[in-house]
Amino acid sequence: MSTVLVTGADGQLGSDIVLLLNQLGYKVHGMGKTKLDVTNMDEVTKVVSFLQPEIIIHCAAFTNVDKAESEQDSAFLVNGIATRNIAIAGELHHSKLVYVSTDYVFDGFSTEPYHEFSPVNPINIYGKSKLAGEMMVRDFHTKFFIVRTSWVFGKNGNNFVKTMLKLSKEREKLKVVNDQIGCPTYTIDLAKYIIQLMETSKYGIYHITNSGNCSWFEFAEEIFRETNTPIKLEPCKTEDFPRPASRPNYSVMDNLSLRIHHFDPMPHWKNALSRFLLDAN
């Protein structure tokens, strides 16, 4: 079995990838930010040189979308420069590289799903810094998979599902945005497809999201329906909840590359949510 280095191993996606890789018998080195400072080129080079991984899955990222607006330097350092460090070190040792990116590389002005070859045009610092990471991967690495995903939820870390369930215990009614449309994605499903992908030589850009799409309001409706939570939900507009960072109104992803490379379709997001809620109990 291959040796795999996973950065950001303490995060929502990274922790599930490490879990699944261990279950499948891979030799896994999961490293969170206390074990590996990905912004330190020397440290990254030493670790990759010592471990000699056949595959690197780069999950480490600056993910606070609103904070990125006021901490631009940190966002580009972690999402751009650190990715360059990983790409250069990985290339030196002929490792395959999986870089986890985001739907936020798109502006959200489309009316049809974005596929892997749609023009990118991020509208916030987070999206711009993640696109910088994509550019670093393409510039400095040859055997790469850029995996864009969206609206991620999983067992570890904060996410929309957990937030809704928490708020439902504190309030009798909730207002949820109904004019942002996207694809909720379960980290377990995403991790499984990343693992399938990394063992191939079908390099390139991939969109990996659960199938189907919804608004945040519709997502909340389904969460409360599945959990039989009695709460009054009210739809509202993005402008009713001003945030420091602009969000794309439409970020539905088309998993075109998975389809043309003959991978199985991703499960529907409602099916994924059901399994997540079952596992969470």
Given the residues 126, 186, 206, 250, select the one marked as catalytic: 126
Kindly state the tokens that stand for 177.
């945005």
Grouping H, G, I as helix, E, B as strand and the rest as coil, residue 235 is strand
Q: For strand 96-102 and strand 27-31, is the pairing parallel, antiparallel, or unpaired?
A: unpaired
Whole-number Å distance between alpha carbons of 4 and 23: 13
Cα 119 to Cα 257: distance, rounded to the nearest angstrom: 15
Query: How far apart, in Å, are the Cα atoms of 180 and each of 129, 161, 276?
Result: 21, 16, 22
**Tokens matching residue 81:** 């420069």
Residue among 164, 119, 123 nearest 273 (CA): 164
Closest CA to 273 of 196, 201, 221: 221
Cα torsion 91, 92, 96, 102: sign: negative
State yes or no: is 126 an active-site residue.
yes
CA nearest 78: which of 2, 179, 8? Answer: 8
At which residue do the structure tokens 């995996």 appear?
A: 147
Q: Can you tell me the distance from the alpha carbon of 76 to that of 102, in angstroms, rounded to the nearest whole number? A: 15
Give the residue numbers annotated as catalytic, written as ranges. Answer: 126
